[in-house]
């Protein structure tokens, strides 16, 4: 049951987080805000969604 809840959580984060981040990045670009705000949005996405960390671990694992 724990793994199912984790999968549902990750899916809901992806469904909600990425459109919000994309909208924020478009808004930052459209209004001419400094690029630091765009970097801040990307850092928040990387901190909240750990899928990239899982992919890096799989990519650099030394299993043969």
What does the radius of gyration of the chain's CA atoms come to, in whole angstroms?
A: 15
pLDDT at residue 46 in the model: 84
Instruction: Specify the higher pLDDT residue, 50 or 16.
Output: 16
Residue 35 · residue 22 · CB < 8 Å? no
Tokens of 29: 């670009």
The pTM (predicted TM-score) of the whole model is 0.65
Number of domains in the chain: 1
- Tell me the C-alpha distance between 34 and 18, whole Å: 21
Residue 18, domain extent: 2-60
Compute, in degrees rounded to 10, the torsion defined by CA atoms 24, 27, 33, 36. 20
Residue 17 · residue 45 · CB < 8 Å? yes
Query: Where does the pLDDT of residue 16 fall: very low under 50, low under 70, confident under 90, or very high at 90 and above?
Result: confident
pLDDT digits (tens, 9 = 90+) for 29-50: 999 999 999 999 989 888 888 7
């Amino acid at each position: 049951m724990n793994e199912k809840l984790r999968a549902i959580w990750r899916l809901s984060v992806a469904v909600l987080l990425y459109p919000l981040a994309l909208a924020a990045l478009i808004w930052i670009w459209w209004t001419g805000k400094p690029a630091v705000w765009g970097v801040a949005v990307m850092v928040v996405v990387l901190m909240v969604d750990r899928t990239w960390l899982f992919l890096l671990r799989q990519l650099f694992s030394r299993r043969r």
